[in-house]
Amino acid sequence: MRKILVLGLAGILVLMAIGIAMALTAGPTTIYGSYHDLSSSGKALTATNVNQICVFCHTPHSGLALSGDYAYLWNRWASTTTYQTYTSSTMNATEPSTMSGVSAICLSCHDGSVAIGVLNNVYGQNFTATFTQTANSNASYNTSTPGWKMTAGLPFLGTDLRNDHPVGFTYDSALAAADGGLQTPGTNSVTGTTNGTGITLTLFNQKLECATCHNVHRPGATTTGDFPFLKASNNNSSLCLTCHLK
């Protein structure tokens, strides 16, 4: 009887230890306090005249359409810039020179074409946020433009996308067959089977976009490979290996 009790207690202790370990490695799970929190609790830029987080990208009313699509209720204007695109002799897909999907929203801030703080609907009217920059910030900004524009640093992608992973093209079974080294995707998603097992990445209207690899709401853990705003940790390159059968 006593043996069973001891074994039972040991089991509970092991379970508790696993629970604590998971809590420690899981890391933060909310946008609050991350680089994408531009409110007073933000990490890089903190707004001084609006204390909301979602408002820099979404609005509950008067959302803006992206290529005629109101999905995600955007509170900001997408980038309409023409880009220099990635090319190579082995690339099968073609990256478009203008972006229509979610990538156009990321690029609105990250190519420096649309002011970060110029928003459609805050407190029921057009709005321009004012910011201060913290010591954690990795980018430079044109602070004399109302709402600030990103101008330099690693977070700044600019309009030359030749040195960035291609986005904005259709990734379907035909592309996988043509390439020969790609995981065959399903409808609007791709799931790793041999490598990157268990990782499922979203394709938007079957297209590979910035938000296929990234999740703007997920700050990432502090563990190796779990860079801020990746859909999943890239430890052991598991994110890359979800799609590339290398």
Which residues of this chain interact with ligand HEC, rule CB under 6 A?
31, 35-36, 44-45, 53-54, 56-58, 72, 88, 90-93, 102-103, 105-110, 116, 137-139, 154-155, 157, 164-167, 171, 175, 179, 182, 190, 201, 208, 210-217, 227-230, 234, 239-240, 242-244
Q: Tell me the closest approach of the beta carbon of residue 21 to ligand HEC, in angstroms.
A: 25
Q: Tell me the closest approach of the beta carbon of residue 178 to ligand HEC, in angstroms.
A: 7
Instruction: Name the residue nearer to ligand HEC (CB basis): 4 or 154.
Output: 154
Q: How many other CB atoms sit within 10 Å of the CB of residue 156?
A: 17
**C-alpha 94, offset from chain centre:** 22
Instruction: Name the residue nearer to ligand HEC (CB basis): 162 or 165.
Output: 165
Location of structure tokens 């830029």 = 45
Instruction: Name the residue nearer to ligand HEC (CB basis): 21 or 189.
Output: 189
Instruction: Name the residue nearer to ligand HEC (CB basis): 122 or 243.
Output: 243
